[in-house]
Structures are given as structure tokens and as C-alpha cells.
Amino acid sequence: ATGLNTNFKLDAAGETVYLENASGTLIDRVQYPALDNGQSYGRYPDGSTQLAISGVVTKGLTNGDSQAPAITAHTRTPLIPGLNQTAAISITLATTTGIASVKMYYRFNGGSYTSVAMTASGTTYSATIPAFTTTGKVEYYMEATGTNGKVAYEPATAPAKTKEYLLNTDALPQLVINEFMAFNSTCCPDNSSGTAEYDDWIEIYNKGTVAVNIAGMYLSDDKNDPFKHQIPSNAPTATTIQPGGYLLLWADNSSSQGPLHLNFGLSNLGEDVGLFYVDGRTIDVYTFGSQTENSSFGRVTNGASTWKIFTTPTPGQSN
């Protein structure tokens, strides 16, 4: 079914959907919870009063008598495993009713997948990925099968897309967050779209003696979520920082504008700003407080440990 188009989108965090007739009379209303990628909220069976999250979407088709299992949360501990370190994987199901089995599949460096039955504790299911002694990539996904035969995955499109982490022993590059602006209304325009936009920005300084391409590395405004935005690998000229050089990135929540545009903005009330290596290890992170409009915050001198307010910001230039 192709469906019809509306002039609004639904919020994945949950909200209320209303159906009214042409006269504005309410026909139906559904308040739905937070939904993850690949999940829907529906009536089981069709038209009933029983509403539930399903891990399998049936757009334009019958919902059937019962929903597929729904995986509502996933955690990995530690978030960034190292060599010779196990990784504890947990998922949460919306309900354990009608669950036949829950499994995790993992592989190392593109080998064959190993299946592990996950252990239940309430609605939480857990399993452990063993330690590895060499560098490489660990991929894994979870599978929940219902007694009705319906199967849901985390990630939703697994095994085509998986969760993963890198085991890496590279020395971290000598990069620092040198200056940033989180309250920009008239200073330092971003002209990438063809129109002056006064966006937040982050400046990275290379205090080392070799050029560094930050492609594959991450920036985030939450030190507990280091994988928030990955720098693309298709523009090495734009993403390489020469020794003693600077790179300006726009925190404008508009990553479609190019490789130096991030998928988040900075809060002028204060938060984190961090640069993380390809495996998630911290290169540099700074937690800041409330910011002054059209002033930046940066290191007193390039790469120094002391920070101050710059009433005359210096994006892409020496502090």
C-alpha cells in the first residue's frame, strides 16, 4: 500500500494520534509509547482494544492475532571493550508473554556467527561476548522469537545491519577541542547552504607533528554517548588537519550539508563537547556551563589546559 501523505511527522519518543471526521468530530485517539527503529504500535487483533508494540511492522496488512516480540532497549558493558575483555550484552523486551526464545549472534573479523541463548531476568535478557586477544571488529545482533513464530531483531534489519565495536590499540592522535561557540546569533556565519546561518561550531586543533584525518572518528555533546556523530570518510581533504592546523565543524544538526556538519547542536545552557577515536576512546572532552551570546569559549592559548571566554571569537584561527 502506498498510503496518503500528511503535513506532520510522528515523534519516536511517543505522543498522541487523533482521527477526526471532516466536521472535526473525534473518531479515535491513540497515545503510543516510545518506539525504536523497525517497531510499530497496533491493535491485536485488528480493530480490538488491545494495543501493543510489535517488532515487525505490518503496514497495509493485517496485524494478525498477536504481535511480534519487541526489543525496547540494548546495552553493552563496557561500552568500549578492550583486548582481552568480555562484553556483557543486555536487551529489554516489552513483555515476556509469548516469547519462545531469545538469542544473541556474534562474530569476529567477518567469520561465522556463533549463537548464544540469552538468559532471562524479568524482561531483561543477557549474554556475554568472549574476550579476544587480537585487534579487529566484533559484530553482533539479537533475535527474539515468539510462540506465534514471529521474529524481531535488534538492530531491526539484522543481520544486514549489526551492532559492532572495534578492538584497537592505535596511539590516540594529538588533537584537542580548542574553541567552541554554543550561543551564536550574529557572529561567525556558516555560509554552506548559500545563506548566512548563525550556527554552533567546534574548532579542533592538531598539536602534533603529523597530519591527522579525522574521518571515522566521532564528535558528541554527551560524553556518555561517544558514537553520536561519525565524521564521513568520503572527503579526506576536508577532514584532514595539518600539524599546528585547525578544523572548524558546524554543530548545526544538518549533516546533509557536508562532511563538516554535525547531527547535533550545542546547548547554551551547558553540556559536554567531545572528540572520540574510531573505536570510541576519548581523545578530548570538555564539560561547559552556561554560555554568553556571541562569545566563544576556548583554551587561553592553543592546546593549553586553561579555558576562557573569547568576546572576539577566533574560529579556525589561533587563540
Q: Where are the domains of the chain?
A: 71-167, 175-310
Q: What totals of helices (H) and strands (E) does the chain contain, helices first?
A: 1, 24
Lowest mean pLDDT among 31-35, 39-43, 193-197, 211-215: 193-197
* pLDDT tens per residue, range 245-282: 999 999 999 999 999 999 999 999 999 999 999 999 99
Give tens-digit pLDDT for 25-60. Answer: 999 999 999 999 899 999 999 999 999 999 989 999
Long-range contacts of 286-291 (CB under 8 A, 24+ apart): 286/177, 287/223, 288/180, 288/182, 291/181, 291/182, 291/183
Question: What is the pLDDT at residue 4?
Answer: 87
pLDDT of residue 3 exceeding 80, the answer is no
- Read off the pLDDT of residues 80-118 as tens digits, 9 standing for 90 and up: 999 999 999 999 999 999 999 999 999 999 999 999 999
Interatomic CA distance for residues 260 and 254, integer angstroms? 10
Looking at residue 190, its pLDDT comes to 87
- The pLDDT value recorded for residue 226 is 97
Q: What is the mean pLDDT of residues 145-159?
A: 95
pTM of the predicted structure, to 2 decimals? 0.86
Which pLDDT score, from 0 to 100, does residue 1 have? 52
- Place 195 in a pLDDT band, splitting at 50, 70 and 90: confident
Contact yes or no for 113/159 (Cβ under 8 A): yes
Angle, vertex CA 175, rays to CA 76 and CA 265, nearest 5:
65
Identical fold for domains 71-167 and 175-310, yes or no, is: yes
Q: What is the pLDDT of residue 2?
A: 67
Mean pLDDT of 276-292: 97
Q: Give yes or no for a contact between 282 and 276, defined as CB atoms under 8 angstroms apart.
A: yes
* Mean per-residue pLDDT of the chain: 95
CATH number, span 175-310 = 2.60.40
Write down the CATH number for the domain with range 71-167: 2.60.40.10
**Cell numbers given for 315:** 574560529
